[in-house]
Chains A and B, each alone.
Chain A
Amino acid sequence: MKAVLYSPNPESPQLARAIRRLERDVLRMGALVEQSCRLSHQALFARDLQAAEELPRLDKKIDRFYRQIESDCTSIMTLQAPTAQDLRCLSAFMQLVRDLERIGDYAKDLADIAVKIFPYPPHTSLPEIAVMSHHAQAMLATSLVALADLDEVGGRSIKHLDDTVDNAYNRLYQTLAQQRDVPGVVEPIILLALAIRCLERMADHATNIGQRVAYIVTGQRS
């Protein structure tokens, strides 16, 4: 029912091929980012420090993909004279990998937080944050599916999911900020506030990816 990708341009199969390659790399990068989100979740909520150790390595790989995709995009734009639709797709890719890369960075930040928070006893609002993290991950998954299927509706629907995360962020922020009689130091609370901030940013970037997918399909920014 959904169009198989980027109705390849019959005039230049070489260009269609190059774009297909590019799309493959973007999806690969997406898979890595998804993986790092999963690891950061595990590090933070299952107190799995080994997962946290793995993240910097993964982040390096993601960065490599990011730089490579960006330079590939530019070289296609300059050398292969893409049509309007292709150009739209390429520019959306360039923006989109930036969003993906940012999500990867936030995952790494979460892992750092997990290491710092490890010595403290688990906070009572941790389960709620875990749910929020699940939401952010689901949004990333949805945006990547929308990208794979070039599904405009799916891409736009992520915006509604983002509201859930924003609400959770506000609620959690209130809970953490209003806490009184903190026993001991405030570091765990600060760390948790930073963590929900990271999650909220992740969700925002996932929303952006969805928007960019819609832009590739329709050519309209909303």
Chain B
Amino acid sequence: MLLLGFLLGLAVGIGFWIWQQVQLNRYLERVLQPLNSRTAKVTTPWLPRLRQEIAMLKQQDQDLQQSLQTYQDVLDFAPVGYLQVDEENQLLWCNQQARKILYLQRWQPGQVRLLLELVRSYELDRLIEQTRDEQVPKTKEWMFHPSCDNPVEMPTIKSLALRAASLPLPNGQVGVFLENRQPMQDMNQVRERSFSDLAHELRTPLTSIRLVVETLQNRLEPPLNRWVDRLMQEVDRLINLVQSWLELTQMETSLAAQLQTEAVEVRSLILSVWETLEPLAQRHHLSLSYSGPDSIWIKADPARIYQVFLNLLDNSIKYSPPAADIQIQTKILQPQDHQGGEINNSVLEINLIDSGTGFALEDLPHIFERFYRGDKARTHSPLPANSPVETIVGNGLGLAIVRQIVLAHGGSIKAMNHPHTGGAWMQLQFPEVMANSQSQDYS
């Protein structure tokens, strides 16, 4: 009886043990299943398999760690700056270049501090906030002024032109790439300076050459003076080029401050430009059609705006086929919820459309650059010597000057090809429309 009870107990115990083993095996099987993709079908005992899998995982982990380290080293050494902040704008990590650009010497790796405690740059902070809020990558350029607590060194510290590209990362983190644009800007400035120095140096001898030619012109007999006339034209062209260059350089640095703005009536100004160009236009039987409100007043510098339309219309005349029509359309773009009455926020849009050959598509992005000439065949078509407007054309600076003037007025200019006429289509926008009497259509 006692023995029977013992055996029964043993049997129950063994049964229990076996059941547990089976459970454990099944459990391990399940655990191992996602891991062993390679040794799938081989039914080895589970213990060595487990050991093998663990070793493999360890190896993988090590490899990953190593590649992570490599990437971090590469990023640390990168020629652009990189920094990463967490959701509270605390600096998590930055590379050597970022430390150099932002003067982050006070930061040590592993230290977590507010970025603003280390770099007091409002722009950088804004960029990071915006990137996090909108969850889209952003870029921004600004002048970074390193702050300095030593009054003696202060004048020697240079501001840097920085460009930052930020991207949102998981968990509210934000990564920012920083690029120091200062060397590039310095180089540009040096180039500009040497160019305008050169132009300055050229101006005086050119003027004296012109004087000499003028003297010669009066003294030479008919067969010879043809050559001198030609020389005169070319000298004038050179003088004009140098003059425009100097003007353009000066505009770029300080035009906005020098504008003498007053109320300008756009329609009559355009018409007076056309009158100046009329002799030229009549030769090709070109006509101007104006459509838009009767009188529009904008706040602008009349002399400069005159130059804008002179250059633009002159181009249109040059490239138009004979007996064509040059259209100018003006309209006032009202901002929403602004009807009548005060129209301070409205924008004046001027469209200038000709029916010439238009711009080649690959030239379009560059036409406002200095000396950019799309069609090489069209350059230097000399005008007859007696043309009154000869001096304003064809030096490759016209559109650059136009753009500079429009920008100084706070406006914008776009070049396109018109879908109907196939010709050039210049679209200008000016802010600061002052008032206009009842609009009347003049089409």
Minimal beta-carbon separation of B420 from chain A (angstroms): 42
A128-142: contact bitstring with B at CB < 8 Å (1 yes, 0 no)? 000100110111011
In the bound assembly, the distance between CA atoms of A21 and B120 in angstroms comes to: 15
- Tell me, yes or no, whether A4 is within 8 Å of chain B by CB: yes
- Tell me, yes or no, whether A101 is within 8 Å of chain B by CB: no
- Tell me, yes or no, whether A92 is within 8 Å of chain B by CB: no
B88 pairs with A34, CB closer than 8 A = no
B116 pairs with A27, CB closer than 8 A = yes
B 238-280 contacts with A by CB, 8 A: 256-257
User: Contact partner of B257 among A4, A21, A50, A164, CB < 8 A?
Assistant: A50
**Among listed A73-81, A144-152, A189-197, interface-contacting one:** A144-152
Q: Which residues of A contact B114 (CB under 8 A)?
A: 5, 20, 23-24, 27, 148
Q: Which residues of B contact A27 (CB under 8 A)?
A: 114, 116-117, 120
Minimal beta-carbon separation of B270 from chain A (angstroms): 30
Minimal beta-carbon separation of B156 from chain A (angstroms): 11
B86-122: contact bitstring with A at CB < 8 Å (1 yes, 0 no)? 0011000000000000000000000111101110111
Which of chain A's residues has its CB closest to B112's CB? A4
B89 pairs with A24, CB closer than 8 A = yes
- Tell me, yes or no, whether A201 is within 8 Å of chain B by CB: no
Q: Which residues of A contact B113 (CB under 8 A)?
A: 4-5
Q: Which residues of B contact A142 (CB under 8 A)?
A: 149
In the bound assembly, the distance between CA atoms of A65 and B383 in angstroms comes to: 63
A31 pairs with B151, CB closer than 8 A = no
A137 pairs with B118, CB closer than 8 A = no
- Tell me, yes or no, whether A32 is within 8 Å of chain B by CB: yes
Number of B residues near A (Cβ < 8 Å) is 23
A 10-36 contacts with B by CB, 8 A: 17, 20-21, 23-24, 27-28, 30-32, 34-35
A138 pairs with B125, CB closer than 8 A = no
In the bound assembly, the distance between CA atoms of A161 and B150 in angstroms comes to: 10
A4-B113, A28-B116, A31-B116 given; A134·B88 CB < 8 A: no
B151 pairs with A24, CB closer than 8 A = no
Q: Which residues of B contact A5 (CB under 8 A)?
A: 113-114, 117
Which of chain A's residues has its CB closest to B147's CB? A141
Q: Which residues of B contact A164 (CB under 8 A)?
A: 151
In the bound assembly, the distance between CA atoms of A28 and B116 in angstroms comes to: 7
B121 pairs with A134, CB closer than 8 A = no
Q: Which residues of B contact A135 (CB under 8 A)?
A: 151
B154 pairs with A137, CB closer than 8 A = yes
B117 pairs with A131, CB closer than 8 A = no
A24-B116, A34-B120 given; A137·B151 CB < 8 A: yes
A4 pairs with B111, CB closer than 8 A = yes
B121 pairs with A31, CB closer than 8 A = yes
A141 pairs with B122, CB closer than 8 A = no
A4-B112, A24-B89, A148-B116 given; A138·B149 CB < 8 A: yes
User: Contact partner of B145 among A38, A138, A139, A149, CB < 8 A?
Assistant: A38
Q: Which residues of A contact B147 (CB under 8 A)?
A: 34, 141, 144
- Tell me, yes or no, whether B148 is within 8 Å of chain A by CB: yes
A31 pairs with B122, CB closer than 8 A = yes
Minimal beta-carbon separation of A13 from chain B (angstroms): 12
Q: Which residues of B contact A34 (CB under 8 A)?
A: 120, 147
Q: Which residues of B contact A217 (CB under 8 A)?
A: none
A141 pairs with B117, CB closer than 8 A = no
Which of chain B's residues has its CB closest to A29's CB? B122
Q: Which residues of B contact A134 (CB under 8 A)?
A: 151, 154-155
B111 pairs with A138, CB closer than 8 A = no
- Tell me, yes or no, whether A49 is within 8 Å of chain B by CB: yes
Which of chain B's residues has its CB closest to A142's CB? B149
| Closest 10 pairs between A and B when the two form their complex, measured CB to CB | A148-B117, A27-B116, A31-B120, A138-B151, A31-B122, A142-B149, A141-B149, A135-B151, A134-B151, A134-B154
What are some 12 contacts across the A-B interface (CB < 8 A)? A24-B116, A27-B114, A28-B122, A31-B122, A31-B125, A50-B257, A134-B151, A138-B150, A145-B149, A148-B114, A148-B116, A148-B120
